[in-house]
């Protein structure tokens, strides 16, 4: 299905991951009314686009990690999101510890050093949120060891962040130099074990008890384009909604699914029929949680209202 056509369409340079649920946008069987999307080849994961957008405004439309976006809003970067969320994941599996570090519960991380690639990386923010809000960990009593720059260069880090440029944090967890890590270990040493063993139960309880289903990425548009094209936000939102319909039909049928589709389909008993819900109201508890935690973790100087971070009137 093609969403809208116009004789003269504004072309938008677009950085977007190659997900199953956006395939209809990439093959142009769905297009946003009045606009055409010109997809940028990134030669790597979508994460490479975040820093380029924040620092150089290289794209008209760009997928962006949600906490990179919140940090960008804190420092007045000239782009604004619409409530489209192309990637979501529970952070629990990213938490690992050294088996010899004496960590029997998350609270034992207090007073220890824990590695995460960058302080504002979204998986790290969500993982710390789980530690604080589910397990009562005092995040200020943990030293967060990072090895990479923040995407937003202006970001001022808390005093309990230790920057070791280029350090191999995974190896440091494996050796015991770090007590644990968030999303930094890809090996299989018996010296590195999950911090949370009953992840499926805890993930389910997070959704059931709080309504929070972690959002990893959103979609941003240059403010100058929003000013020049008042319909751009609504047009893109509707196009993403339409593009997702074939994906939802496939996972409902449950046949010939890709690994990506199978993983998302497996979340449906927890999160509902649509494992990638868009819009503000369907995601309000999650958005409030990430804003609350970005403030608690000293990434934001204040808690934004949810409506402040999106183009007004889009995806309500």
Look at residues 225, 230, 272, 282 and name the one whose alpha carbon lies nearest to residue 251: 272
* Structure confidence at residue 43 (pLDDT): 85
* Structure confidence at residue 2 (pLDDT): 52
Q: Where in the chain is the domain with CATH 3.40.190.10?
A: 10-88+213-309, 92-210
Q: The dihedral of CA 257, 20, 55, 129: what is its sign? A: negative
Look at residues 184, 235, 216, 206 and name the one whose alpha carbon lies nearest to residue 70: 216
Beta-bridge partners for 38: 13
Look at residues 264, 238, 266, 212 and name the one whose alpha carbon lies nearest to residue 66: 212
Q: Which CATH number fits domain 92-210: 3.30.930.10, 3.40.190.10, 3.40.50.720, 2.30.130.10?
A: 3.40.190.10
Its pTM stands at 0.94
Where are any strands of DSSP class E within the chain?
10-15, 35-39, 61-65, 79-82, 95-98, 113-116, 143-146, 161-163, 180-182, 192-194, 217-222
* Structure confidence at residue 225 (pLDDT): 97
* Structure confidence at residue 1 (pLDDT): 40
Distance CA 211, CA 159 (A): 32
Beta-bridge partners for 182: 95, 116
Rg of the Cα trace of the chain? 20
Instruction: Tell me the pLDDT of the chain (316 aa) as tens digits.
Output: 454 444 478 999 999 999 999 999 999 999 999 999 999 999 889 999 999 999 999 999 999 999 999 999 999 999 999 999 999 999 999 999 999 999 999 999 999 999 999 999 999 999 999 999 999 999 999 999 999 999 999 999 999 999 999 999 999 999 999 999 999 998 889 999 999 999 999 999 999 999 999 999 999 999 999 999 999 999 999 999 999 999 999 999 998 899 989 999 999 999 999 999 999 999 999 999 999 999 999 999 999 999 999 999 999 8
* Structure confidence at residue 4 (pLDDT): 47
Fold of 10-88+213-309: D-Maltodextrin-Binding Protein; domain 2 (3.40.190)
Q: φ, ψ for residue 268 (rounded to 5)? A: -60, -35
């Amino acid at each position: 299905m093609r969403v809208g056509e116009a004789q003269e369409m504004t072309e938008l340079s677009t950085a977007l991951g190659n997900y199953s649920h956006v395939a209809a946008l990439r093959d142009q069987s769905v297009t946003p009314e009045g606009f055409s999307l010109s997809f940028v080849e990134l030669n790597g994961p979508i994460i490479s686009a975040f820093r380029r957008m924040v620092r150089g405004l290289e794209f008209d439309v760009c997928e962006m990690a949600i906490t990179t976006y919140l940090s960008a809003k804190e420092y007045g970067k000239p782009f604004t999101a619409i409530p489209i969320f192309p990637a979501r994941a529970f952070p629990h599996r990213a938490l690992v510890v050294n088996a010899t570090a004496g960590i029997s519960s998350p609270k034992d991380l207090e007073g220890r050093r824990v590695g995460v690639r960058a302080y504002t990386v979204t998986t790290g923010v969500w993982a710390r949120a789980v530690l604080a809000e589910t397990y009562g960990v005092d995040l200020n009593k943990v030293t967060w060891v990072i090895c990479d720059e923040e995407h937003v260069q202006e970001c001022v880090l808390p005093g309990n962040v230790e920057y070791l440029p280029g350090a191999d944090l995974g190896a440091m967890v494996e050796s015991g130099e770090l007590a644990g890590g968030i999303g930094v270990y890809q090996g299989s040493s018996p010296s590195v074990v999950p911090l949370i063993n009953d992840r499926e139960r805890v993930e389910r309880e997070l959704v059931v008890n709080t309504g929070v289903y972690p959002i990893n990425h959103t979609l941003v548009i240059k403010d100058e384009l929003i000013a020049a094209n008042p319909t751009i936000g609504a047009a893109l939102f509707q196009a993403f909604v339409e593009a997702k319909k074939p994906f939802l039909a496939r996972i409902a049928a449950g046949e010939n699914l890709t690994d990506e589709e199978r993983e998302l389909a497996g979340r449906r008993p927890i999160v509902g029929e649509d494992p990638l819900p868009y819009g503000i109201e369907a995601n309000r508890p999650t958005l409030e949680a990430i804003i609350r935690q970005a403030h608690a973790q000293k990434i934001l100087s204040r808690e934004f209202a949810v409506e402040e971070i999106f183009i007004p009137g889009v995806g309500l």
